[in-house]
With several copies, the nearest count.
Chain A
Amino acid sequence: MESPRVSRYRIVSRMEKAKDHVELILEAPVLARAVPGQFVHVRTPGTLRRPISFSRLNPVRGEAGLLFQVVGPGTAWLAGREQGDWLDVLGPLGQGFPRPEPDRPWCLVGGGVGIPPLYAALTAWQNDVTASIDAILGARSQDYLIMLEDFGAQIDHPIAVTTDDGSVGAQGTVLGPLAHWHARHPTGQVYACGPMPMLAAVARLMQTSGVAYLALEQRMGCGVGACLACVVMANGPEGPLWRRVCHDGPVFRAEELIWS
């Protein structure tokens, strides 16, 4: 595994992926060897860095992608970067997704800006998986749906899409299609990333059978495990304990976590 470092990387391209969503591709051979689900801590103006997952990892071209939604000053500043600019990045950080089991049906479930790390996982491992591969992508509305085309280029059968307002795909959340998938693939493996309530629901659904890996978000300080800011409650050998999203995660097995 690549050990984290602070380095400056050049932006080789910048794309508007949807309303308020920008993807930056970095020329970064070291980062490109990261594990999907890992993230970087990006320097923006202000006191703290900003955690962003890898949206793509291309070790051959030595490129890594960061796809983010503009939600505040940090991501607004990032969105203002242009091709040729340099980013100051700390990473790769955290524990990514495990390599999927080849013969288990695999389902990638992404909500909003939770979609990008799943795309990185898909492209990294799709050739390893001999069982079926499905994707379920959710968004607030059509305007905010990202990476459907990217997934479409990799998966040859229809991709389930849901939106809160039904402006594209089925109205509702990813939970509907996932329940459906789970019924057909009770021992399948699910990789999910998205808002906490969505992840909690995924965890609940998968309690009965199968396995789910969830990529979590939490407010961070250091990003390297030193400050204990980014904790989530998990099951420990002697009862509940806090685990660090930045160092022990961001990817956890669903059954490790305790939902409040």
Chain B
Amino acid sequence: MNLAVRVGAVRLANPIMAASGTFGFGPEYQGLVNIARLGGIAVKGVSPGPWPGNPPPRVWETEGGMLNSIGLQNPGVEVFCREDLPFLRTTKTRVVVNVIGRTIDEYCQVVERLEAESGIDALELNISCPNIKEGGMSFGQDPEHAAQVTRAVRACTKRPLWVKLSPNVADPGAIAAAVERVGADAISAINTVVGMAIDVKRRRPALGGISGGLSGPAIKPIALRVVYQVAQSVSIPIVGMGGIRSVEDVVEFLMAGASAVMVGTATFAEPGTMEAIIEELPGYLARLEVSSVHELIGAALPGR
């Protein structure tokens, strides 16, 4: 069974990748997950300098999902290149670097610094994280800003450029179309959904960051609808994610129009989720009577 897929110029051995922020910088799950088996991994968001993130508590369980307010803590692109990239270069999988910034300039700083480095297969522009007030979010909130930051980054690099969308907008298709026009090579969708919880004992917001990002199976319907809508708005490939934990979930995303998927929250409870899905995928495809992943991509779209 042919599991290989392409996301633009990036060829993946299979469509299952680890989602940014849930798989650290690669080595954390060593011994628990065989990275070489994965289609790829997206590392935690990287900014120009170190970002501190939010005060704890940073996670809170909710029905069918969880909230996080990590706040994009990361050591900055210098430390990333020095301490994390060497390990990532040794992994036999695709490495996607998630890029964050407070300003267009900061996005470009990160991307430019990465130009000198080998071992990076794609950049994922995170214009959608709800945990950061000074900009990150707002770039993902209207087509014009999204296009601005994408255009600027596009000018700094020839690397495959994926733009990761926020679901917290009325029309994600319009944003996808805007970034496609200025040179995005793929769309990642979705980032977490803004939410919050109240700690009734303390009578306060449960998270240190007050609001946070909802992820996990609870958001799968939201993610599928974004993918389905974006697939009808652009012709570049889509990397789908949001609540995936089974091979059936993956097939839903493929049929909605995704060329590949990422698994995030599910890895926390079951580190073996991604490998189990890769294991089960051939048999599942056979039962659907298709001979490649490719045949399912967009199968549920209108006119198909």
Question: Measuring CB to CB, which residues of chain A are less than 8 angstroms from any residue of chain B?
Answer: 3-6, 43, 46-49, 90, 218-232, 242, 247
Given contacts A222-B22, A224-B28, A226-B22, contact A242 B52 (CB under 8 A): yes
From B29, B31, B64, B268, contact of A221 by CB (8 A):
B268
CA distance A3 to B62 in the complex (A): 30
CA distance A223 to B59 in the complex (A): 12
CA distance A230 to B59 in the complex (A): 8
When each residue 27-49 of chain B gets 1 if its CB lies under 8 Å from chain A and 0 otherwise, what string results?
Answer: 01101100000000000100000
Task: Using CB atoms, name the residue of chain A closest to B73.
Answer: A228
A163 CB → nearest B CB, Å: 21
Given contacts A4-B31, A47-B268, A227-B22, 18 further A-B contacts (CB under 8 A): A3-B31, A6-B32, A6-B272, A47-B64, A47-B216, A47-B217, A221-B58, A221-B66, A222-B22, A222-B29, A226-B24, A227-B68, A227-B70, A228-B58, A229-B70, A230-B56, A231-B73, A242-B53
When each residue 164-207 of chain B gets 1 if its CB lies under 8 Å from chain A and 0 otherwise, what string results?
Answer: 00000000000000000000000000000000000000000000
Cβ–Cβ contact A231 & B56, under 8 A: yes
When each residue 256-274 of chain B gets 1 if its CB lies under 8 Å from chain A and 0 otherwise, what string results?
Answer: 0000000001011111100
Cβ–Cβ contact B32 & A219, under 8 A: no
Q: Using Cβ atoms and an 8 Å threshold, which residues of chain A touch B56?
A: 218-219, 229-232
Task: Using CB atoms, name the residue of chain B closest to A227.
Answer: B22
From B53, B57, B271, contact of A218 by CB (8 A):
B57
Q: Give chain B interface residues in 201-236, CB to chain A under 8 Å.
A: 216-217
Given contacts A221-B68, A225-B24, contact A46 B44 (CB under 8 A): no
Cβ–Cβ contact A242 & B73, under 8 A: yes
Chain A binding site: helix, strand, loop or mixed by DSSP?
loop
B80 CB-CB contact with A under 8 Å: no
Cβ–Cβ contact A222 & B267, under 8 A: yes
Q: Using Cβ atoms and an 8 Å threshold, which residues of chain B touch A247?
A: 28
B61 CB-CB contact with A under 8 Å: yes
Cβ–Cβ contact A49 & B268, under 8 A: yes
Q: Using Cβ atoms and an 8 Å threshold, which residues of chain A touch B216?
A: 47
A sample of 8 cross-chain residue pairs with beta-carbon separation below 8 angstroms, ordered by A number, consists of A47-B269, A48-B61, A219-B58, A222-B22, A224-B271, A229-B56, A229-B70, A232-B56
CA distance A220 to B272 in the complex (A): 18
Q: Using Cβ atoms and an 8 Å threshold, which residues of chain B touch A229?
A: 56-59, 68, 70
B119 CB-CB contact with A under 8 Å: no
Cβ–Cβ contact A230 & B61, under 8 A: no
Cβ–Cβ contact B53 & A4, under 8 A: no
Task: Using CB atoms, name the residue of chain A closest to B266.
Answer: A47
A118 CB → nearest B CB, Å: 24
Cβ–Cβ contact B31 & A231, under 8 A: no
Cβ–Cβ contact B65 & A47, under 8 A: yes
Cβ–Cβ contact A227 & B24, under 8 A: yes
CA distance A15 to B217 in the complex (A): 34
Q: Using Cβ atoms and an 8 Å threshold, which residues of chain B touch A220?
A: 59
B53 CB → nearest A CB, Å: 7
Cβ–Cβ contact A227 & B268, under 8 A: yes
Q: Using Cβ atoms and an 8 Å threshold, which residues of chain A touch B44?
A: 228
Cβ–Cβ contact A228 & B22, under 8 A: no
Task: Using CB atoms, name the residue of chain A closest to B217.
Answer: A47
Q: Using Cβ atoms and an 8 Å threshold, which residues of chain A touch B268?
A: 47-49, 221-223, 227
CA distance A229 to B216 in the complex (A): 16
A182 CB → nearest B CB, Å: 29
From B29, B58, B62, contact of A47 by CB (8 A):
B62
CA distance A222 to B36 in the complex (A): 20
CA distance A232 to B265 in the complex (A): 22
CA distance A143 to B163 in the complex (A): 51
